[in-house]
Amino acid sequence: MDPKEFERVVDLHYENLFRFAWSLSGNEHDAADLVQQTYAVFAKKGHQLRDTSKAKAWLFTTLRREFFATRRRAEHFREEPWEESLSDAIQPEEMEALDVQTALLALAQLSVEYREPLTLFYLEEQSYQSIANILKVPIGTVMSRLSRGKAQLRHLLKNVLNK
Amino acid sequence: MSSTNKDFDLVDVAFAAKLKELSPPSSLRRELLKLSPTQRAAWWPRLCLVAATALAIVAAIMFWPKGSLIPAAQSDLAALLNSDFDLQFQSKNVPAIRQWLTENTRVGQAELPPLVTTSFPEGCRELLWRGNYGALICFETPELGLVHLAVFPSSELRGASSLTGMHLRGVGGWNSAVWNHGAYTYFLFGKGTDAQIRSLIAASPGASRSWGLARFRHVPGINSSSASLTKNNTHETTSHSNRDSLRG
């Protein structure tokens, strides 16, 4: 691979990959390791991508795979019962008090099945289809996880900010 | 924003903005760029290097220069640095590098300049040039990025023992400083101006006091144009009759 192209792909995506990795691992050190593992794979196999515009989806998919390979799928996916209540959700005017640490704290409290699509949704504003491709789940699953995840997140934000 | 635009309300916008404030560690980009495929040594450049070394050894025997070996050593070191050479020992730990040099090279007793001990080392390797064994240490500095230091015993480099002070010279796209300390001759290569190289060396703690690096002089045996201290980096071509190879 042309080193200039490699550098371009690093510059385009490493920051959001780091944020995605942080949302999965929950700490800076593991997130940085994950991003490095991902780009190490890209350095070896990236030339197989005929269209480098697809590098973004490839990188996110690979990072996710590396995360689960490392953790050996420690966290079990589960559907948790959740009672939605609009009165518990944070309102737009309350968001002014939010800082990045609080945002990360709230995100970290979500189960990984909601954290993943939400992070991709917020960071990259990826389409449902792109998120579905990265997570290898049907688009309907993405929509429902996003919906439920957002509801849980707003509830958590409300609680965190009120503490 | 793509097809998800319609799903973004004010809370989403505010949350996404906060999430994007999370910054990666400052060193992460640099670490990632080290993974670039070109950083990996392929087998064929090594083969080319071995072949070139063999040819150059023959040429060296045929065209052994009469004057100081310092300029030739600088040229060949610059050529080595511009090639795809390997580090035999990779470490970011100065004591570990010092130990490796002691155990694996003939310049293990050479004192490392304060500059090395206060920078970020990458690794080192042994060098063999015209029958002289030396060592190469590579390290990163915040000012100039990757910088290389070669060390040879002064007694084995013709012209080196008469060297006094420090001398700067542009060669092969590098700016090279050479000086003696103790029984050894040091060659520093960096991509910077004379002033930056001077500053880099003199700024390291203890440099000017115990290393005598505050003074920069003309190199005996080097013509005045190539030894100019005010000249910026210039690419110097060395004639084959004056050129030797370096095994790195």
Supply B42's token pair.
Answer: 């392929």
Identify the residue with better confidence: B138 or B219.
B138
**What number is the average pLDDT over the span B43-56?**
79
> Mean pLDDT across chain A, nearest whole number?
81
- Position B211 confidence tier, pLDDT thresholds 50, 70, 90: very low
For residue A103, what is the enclosing H or E element? helix A100-108
**What number is the average pLDDT over the span A129-144?**
87
Q: Which residues contact B69 (CB under 8 A, 6 or more apart)?
A: B130, B157, B158, B159, B160
Given a cut of 80, whether residue B34 has pLDDT beyond it is yes
User: What sign for the dihedral angle of Cα A51, A57, A62, A65?
Assistant: negative
**What number is the average pLDDT over the span B191-206?**
75
- In angstroms, how far is the first alpha carbon of chain A from the final one? 51
> Mean pLDDT across chain B, nearest whole number?
75
Among the partner-chain residues B18, B24, B40, the one whose CB lies closest to the CB of A98 is B18
- Position B35 confidence tier, pLDDT thresholds 50, 70, 90: confident
Q: What pLDDT was estimated at residue B7?
A: 62
Quote the pTM value: 0.42
CB < 8 Å to B33, chain A: 6-7, 10
Nearest-angstrom CA–CA distance, B60 and B49:
16
CB < 8 Å to B36, chain A: 1, 3, 6-7, 43
Nearest-angstrom CA–CA distance, A101 and B239:
62
Q: What pLDDT was estimated at residue B147?
A: 93
Chains A and B: how many Cβ contacts under 8 Å?
A: 107
CB < 8 Å to B18, chain A: 98-100, 102-103
Strand order across the B120-129 sheet: B89-90, B120-129, B132-141, B145-153, B184-190, B174-181, B166-171
Q: What is the ipTM of this complex?
A: 0.73
**What number is the average pLDDT over the span B25-47?**
77
Q: Is B20 on the interface with A (CB under 8 A)?
A: yes
Shortest Cα distance, chain B CAs vs residue A34, angstroms: 11
Q: What pLDDT was estimated at residue B134?
A: 92
**What number is the average pLDDT over the span B183-199?**
88
Please write the tens of the pLDDT for every residue from B108-157.
889 888 888 778 889 999 998 888 889 999 999 888 889 999 999 988 88
Please write the tens of the pLDDT for every residue from B175-185.
999 888 888 99
Identify the residue with better confidence: A41 or B235.
A41
CB < 8 Å to A46, chain B: 37
Nearest CA in chain B to A1: B37
Q: Give the CB-side neighbour count of residue A143, counting CA atoms within 13 A.
A: 7
By the 8 A CB rule, do A107 and A119 touch? yes
Q: Which residues contact A157 (CB under 8 A, 6 or more apart)?
A: A90, A94, A95, A98, A102, A103, A106, B11, B15
Q: What pLDDT was estimated at residue B114?
A: 80
What proportion of chain B, given as a percentage, has pLDDT over 90? 19
CB < 8 Å to A32, chain B: 24-25, 28, 31
Among the partner-chain residues A19, A39, A154, the one whose CB lies closest to the CB of B35 is A39
Shortest Cα distance, chain A CAs vs residue B15, angstroms: 7
DSSP state of A47: G
What proportion of chain A, given as a percentage, has pLDDT over 70? 88
Pairwise CB contact (< 8 Å): B11 & A125: no
Q: Which of A56-70, B99-113, B206-220 has the lowest mean pLDDT?
A: B206-220
* Residue B167: strand pairing partners: B178
Domains (range + CATH), chain A? 3-74 (1.10.1740.10), 92-161 (1.10.10.10)
